[in-house]
Amino acid sequence: MELKNESLKGVLIDLNKDKGFYEAALESIFNRLNSSDRLIEKGIDSGILNSFLSYWGFVGHDASIKSLIATGAVEYISNKNLIEELTKYYENQYSVLSDTAENEEKVYWEIMTYMKVNYRFGKMMKSDKTYIKNWFTGKGGDKGHPIHMEFDDILLSKLNKDQYFVNHAYQLKRIDGLHAAFYEQALVEVEKLKVMIRDELY
């Protein structure tokens, strides 16, 4: 019983980690959706293009649920509906989010390859190990994002008229629209599970 409770407390911690990840994912996804809209409306600039040329992978936090199952402690959960909801969340929800992220990544590499073959990439700052480390560990820097590309007006004008590129924006809107919906649903499931787990514990 004590092992079950400790494992469920761990699941609560993991669910909160998932929640934070999902909220960050949604922010990234809606940035890309807005960038796609701007591109379709012929309003692209370097900032919009950098946001457009990105993707969001999937990382789940399932160490505690795996421990709960491996130790057999899951058998001591009194609410069988909780077991069913946990199974649905970690098997179904995770699978959907992972598959959608993979599809988005494929589309990302397609357009990056197209860009590489047909256009000249924008200018980037000189790589600096310390600056990159500081930026990605939250310390920031005064030179901007270390992997940001600055595109000139001539290239941006060409992209605005490139139908393949515009079609890619429409494709990304469809994929990211679904992606956002799945993350929104996952957030609902997280809150539902947290309530059920607390009821089981207390």
The predicted structure's pLDDT at residue 123: 80
The predicted structure's pLDDT at residue 196: 96
How many CB atoms lie under 10 A from the CB of residue 30?
12
The predicted structure's pLDDT at residue 143: 67
Query: What's the total number of domains in the chain?
Result: 1
The predicted structure's pLDDT at residue 142: 66
Concatenate the DSSP letters of all residues of 26-78 into one string: HHHHHHHHHHHHHHHTT---HHHHHHHS---------HHHHHHHHTTGGGG-S
Classify residue 85 as exposed, middle or buried by CB count within 10 Å of its CB (0-12, 13-18, 19+): middle
Provide the domain limits for residue 174: 2-201
Q: Give pTM, 2 decimals.
A: 0.86
CA 123 → CA 42, 46, 151, distances in Å? Answer: 22, 10, 7
Output Rg (C-alpha) for the chain, integer angstroms: 21
The predicted structure's pLDDT at residue 20: 97
CA distance 127 to 141: 13
Sequential pLDDT tens for the chain (202 residues): 788 889 999 999 999 999 999 999 999 999 999 999 998 988 888 889 988 999 899 999 999 999 999 999 899 899 999 999 999 999 999 999 999 999 999 999 999 999 889 988 878 777 888 888 877 787 776 667 777 888 888 888 888 889 999 999 999 999 999 999 999 999 999 999 999 999 999 8
CA 132 → CA 50, 54, 58, 115, 142, distances in Å? Answer: 17, 18, 23, 24, 12
CA distance 103 to 178: 11
